[in-house]
Amino acid sequence: MAFDPIQHVEKTYAKSRLPIFKAGDTVEVRVKIQEGDKERIQPFIGTVIRMKGSGIRKTFTVRRIVAGEGVERTFPIHSPFVTGVRVQKLGRVRRSKLYYLRDRVGKATRILEATAEERARFEEMTAEADLLHSEKSGRREEKSDDEEEKSASSEQPAVPSSK
């Protein structure tokens, strides 16, 4: 098997822990912004209108309305400038590309929110992904001595009240 430099670079820059979200979800993308010699984190909150590509080339596009104008930004999911993606609301859509939202204005751009069952399934998937990530990295989430003392002191037996 010959050495493939492209695969080596892709493996080097690929993030090991990817966020779980899909088109229709409202997300907060935390982007690293460089201004002169200062660096800060800027949140970009909007609706995911598409996911595109695979592997290290995977991107997603987020749309939001700013001062009455639609603003779309496309982010590479493996970019070092994307420090985090947090799902705020789970959307319930029947398409993978939501380009029709570009033509809609006001309340017409609303997306149905996921049901309790869908939300529970999402939480389960996220927990499984966290568990797999912790097993893969070889770390077990063990409590430190301080945390064990705190949890032991908070679990005091209930005292029956005398009436």
Structural domain harbouring 25: 5-136
The DSSP bridge pattern shows strands 69-76 and 59-66 to be antiparallel
Task: For residue 149, tell me if it sits in a domain.
Answer: no
Q: Per residue, what are the HEC states of 79-131?
A: CCCEEEEEEEECECCCCCCCHHHHHCCHHHHCCCECCHHHHHHHHHHHHHHHH
Question: Is 10 contained in some domain?
Answer: yes
Residue 77 placed within a domain: yes
Q: Which amino acid is at 94?
A: R
Q: According to the model, what pLDDT value does residue 146 have?
A: 47
Residue 45: per-residue pLDDT? 95
pLDDT score for 59? 94
Please give the pLDDT value at position 145.
47
pLDDT tens across the length of the chain (163 residues): 577 888 888 888 888 888 889 999 999 999 999 999 999 999 999 999 999 998 888 999 999 998 888 999 999 999 999 999 999 988 899 999 999 999 988 888 888 888 888 888 888 888 888 887 777 766 544 544 444 444 444 454 444 555 4
pLDDT reported for residue 132: 79
Domain count along the chain: 1
Residue 130 lies in a domain: yes
Reduced to 3 states, what is the DSSP secondary structure of residue 14? coil
Domain with residue 114: its CATH number is: 2.30.30
> CA distances (Å), 12 to each of 30, 58, 79, in order?
22, 15, 12
